[in-house]
A and B are shown apart, each in its own frame.
Chain A
Amino acid sequence: AQRVTQPEKLLSVFKGAPVELKCNYSYSGSPELFWYVQYSRQRLQLLLRHISRESIKGFTADLNKGETSFHLKKPFAQEEDSAMYYCALSGRPGNQFYFGTGTSLTVIP
């Protein structure tokens, strides 16, 4: 069955410290993986997708098929990174997204 697991509901780090938000998935096939972010009082917006292999706002995420993980990392956290982060999985264009439960990141000044 398709499943996305984000083990940490809450994560606090100090400004300037590295941050890693964990995401593990199960899917029979080759999924597309995404990270969505929701800043306070704003809509869900795409942060990263694994197929583009890009760095957005200093964040990167590598798909590890062996470990079925797609962890989100940033070497130096900023206060403006405080938000809710959701890992999501999709089978193919037009398919539903399966979301994790989300991790609330707080960056302490």
Chain B
Amino acid sequence: EPEVTQTPSHQVTQMGQEVILRCVPISNHLYFYWYRQILGQKVEFLVSFYNNEISEKSEIFDDQFSVERPDGSNFTLKIRSTKLEDSAMYFCASSEYLAGANNEQFFGPGTRLTVL
């Protein structure tokens, strides 16, 4: 069964450094998402991406964040200058869009980002 994959599984970085988190969504899916979960807190939406542009974003997704689909398979989240409070588990998800169909999002295993 196809799955969403994410790399790396763990990333440790120094405050102020740039990080890129990578995701490979399921191949026939059209919607892509990033969520994050700070330890002990709920899973929070960051951004969704459709047709090569951002379709929705939360207030967390400020100018420090960007997303890109650099080729036909990868979907990346970049954090330009990491802060301590960016430490979290970052989940990528994807969904197919068929009018009238269910809305299931398929999640990757997550990347644990630690900012020192």
Contact = CB atoms under 8 A, between A and B. Distances in A.
Interface of A: 32, 34, 36, 42-46, 49, 51-52, 86, 90, 92-102
A99 B56 contact: no
A22 to B, nearest CB: 15
17 contacts: A34-B104, A42-B109, A43-B107, A45-B107, A46-B104, A51-B102, A86-B43, A90-B105, A92-B103, A93-B98, A94-B55, A95-B56, A96-B33, A97-B93, A99-B42, A99-B43, A101-B42
A32 B103 contact: yes
Interface residues of B, number: 31
Contact of A93 (B4, B41, B93, B103): B103
A32 B101 CA distance: 11
A96 B43 CA distance: 11
Nearest to A101: B42
B97 A93 contact: yes
B42 A96 contact: no
A44 B91 contact: yes
A97 B105 contact: yes
Contacts of B93: 97
B103 A96 contact: no
B104 A43 contact: no
Q: Which 5 A-B pairs have the closest CB atoms?
A: A96-B45, A44-B107, A99-B43, A101-B42, A93-B103
A49 B104 CA distance: 8
Contacts of B4: 43
B40 to A, nearest CB: 9
B75 interface: no
B25 interface: no
A101 B41 contact: yes
Contact of B102 (A32, A86, A94, A101): A32
Contact of A90 (B3, B41, B103, B107): B103
